[in-house]
Chain A
Amino acid sequence: MSDRSEIPEPAADLTDIAAGWLASLDAGTADRRAFEAWRAEDVRHAVAFAEVASTWRDMSELARISGDPKPAVPDDAPAPAPDEQPTRRRMLRIAAAAGAMALAGGGFAMRAAARNSAETRIGERRAISEVPGLSVNLNTDSSIYWKDGKSPRLWLERGEIGIQLDPGRRLSLMTPGGTFHLAPGDYNARLRGSSCELAVLSGSGTLGDAARPFQPGDVALATAGQANVRQRESDLTRITAWRRDTLVLNGESLDYALAEMNRYLRGKIVIGDPDLSRLRIGGTFATTNPTEFLEALRTSFGVKATAGADGNIVLTHA
């Protein structure tokens, strides 16, 4: 879909305009009379608005099936009880209530407590231990926020983190893929697009209010509140290698190897000859300096690395 967004739409795309109205109505910033005037101006406007409102309503049902906990603050909509059969009409009422409450409660959210944050730039690594009983390691190009309190919460906004939680502590890890509830233990969380991959080294956790907890060795990919869990004990060394500034490869393609290595590099390594991407690489490499990795490519596969003017490095056959 990102591709499609780059194709220029006709000047007056009614769906875009209608979605803009709905978003500002939802945020409480719309001029209601201007909106009513726009809708009344042309019945096609009303059609476009009803269509985006229909998508909006259907998306409200997602909250019900997702594993996210019920919101803790009163500005959010009440989640319907799980045992009730949803009907279109009923969902409509709930959606209407949600809209009204969001409009009424907007001011409250602004007064929410301030949070702390930390981030790393590309190639940087950083340890944070400002919340008692919790230490967080940020990998390259990562960003987190946290809120301390009786039930501390940590938001993973970008990149990858290691989480160590002391005995007696609990943590809610909020990610775009869903909310993990973690018991004391050692975890690795990495964002992949709008999903989040959680590896459990020790301890246990759940996604949302799911009944089955993750076990040590589990790697769970959370997407929109749903977890896809695999038992990958053998992968844990590879997953946590970054904590020792290394990249572990077990016969992955050069494409994959470069994608991983480039996370740590400002100047990126790119493939110049397409057939190079089929090479399979094994070994342990330092992420702090690509020289060793490039040298291995040269000696093992005869791959030449040429630095370009833009700081990128191009790989070709020697």
Chain B
Amino acid sequence: MSWLREIDRWFMVEVLPHAAAYRARAAHFCGRDEADDLVQEAYARVLAAPDYRDIASPRGFVLTVVRNLALERLRRANVVRIDFLASLDMLDVADPSPDAFAVSSGRSELQLLLRLIEELPPQCGRVLHMRKIQQMSPPRIAEELCISLSTVEKHIAKGLSLITKARRERVAQAEELCPTVPKSLNQPLT
């Protein structure tokens, strides 16, 4: 994948595998509806960091960014419950250990990927299977399925997008298994 910059490789190896932890932290502060948005914002901050090589614990760093962004958002809200903010500062949620989340990489992750490819629309799944599992080149897939190269690309793009989103959703489910603040504190703040 020559199209990846060094920072992208670092991001993919050090940051993305802990997505479930970030999402749990974000949901803890801002509720589930805003969690994705918050995590994406944190990713953007991290991926724009010029000194990313100096970050000793990328996971811990992103968790801190998530927390700070969440506090910023809460403070910006029109009416903020003082008791909630105070409790956030004092609580300073302990970082759940990596084991508390499915850190993607293991065999179960691969099984999940296989299942997600299977569940794709048939031609889309077929093309992705030929490309990634049979390792056929896109022009060869086009030739063998008697479709144009651009159709192969469209199938690959669609499948890749659907699978990426499905994995993100799975992260959201994993987060529900993790402890959050009591319901009474987790109400939307208006």
A residues within 8 Å of B by Cβ?
1-2, 4-5, 13, 15-16, 18-20, 22-29, 32, 35, 43-44, 46-47, 49-63, 65-66, 68, 71, 73, 75-77, 79, 88-89, 92, 95-96, 98-100, 102-103, 105-107, 109-110, 112, 115, 117, 145, 155, 157, 174, 176, 179, 193-195, 223-226
A49–B16 Cα distance when bound, in Å, is: 12
| Majority-rule SS of A interface residues | helix
| Chain B 26-64 near chain A by CB (<8 Å), digits 1 or 0 | 000000000000001001100110000000000000000
A99's partner among B2, B11, B162 (CB-CB below 8 A) is B2
Q: A59-B113, A59-B163 are in contact. List 10 more A-B contacts (CB 8 A).
A: A2-B121, A5-B162, A26-B138, A50-B8, A50-B16, A53-B8, A59-B117, A68-B133, A193-B118, A193-B125
Give the A-B contact count at a CB cut-off of 8 A.
Answer: 209
Could you tell me if B8 and A226 are in contact, using CB atoms closer than 8 angstroms? no
A225–B134 Cα distance when bound, in Å, is: 9
Which A-chain residue is minimally distant from B15 (CB atoms)? Answer: A50
Could you tell me if A19 and B118 are in contact, using CB atoms closer than 8 angstroms? no
Flag whether B109 is at the interface (Cβ < 8 A): yes
In the complex, what residues of A have CB within 8 A of residue B166's CB? 1, 4
B residues within 8 Å of A by Cβ?
1-4, 8-9, 11-13, 16-17, 40, 43-44, 47-48, 104-105, 107, 109-110, 113-114, 116-122, 125-126, 128-140, 143-146, 149-150, 152-154, 156-158, 160-168
Nearest CB of chain B from residue A142's CB, rounded to whole Å: 14
Could you tell me if A89 and B110 are in contact, using CB atoms closer than 8 angstroms? no
Could you tell me if A46 and B8 are in contact, using CB atoms closer than 8 angstroms? yes
Could you tell me if A43 and B143 are in contact, using CB atoms closer than 8 angstroms? no
Assuming A76-B137, A109-B137, is B122 touching A194 (CB within 8 A)?
Answer: yes
A26–B137 Cα distance when bound, in Å, is: 9
A46–B40 Cα distance when bound, in Å, is: 11
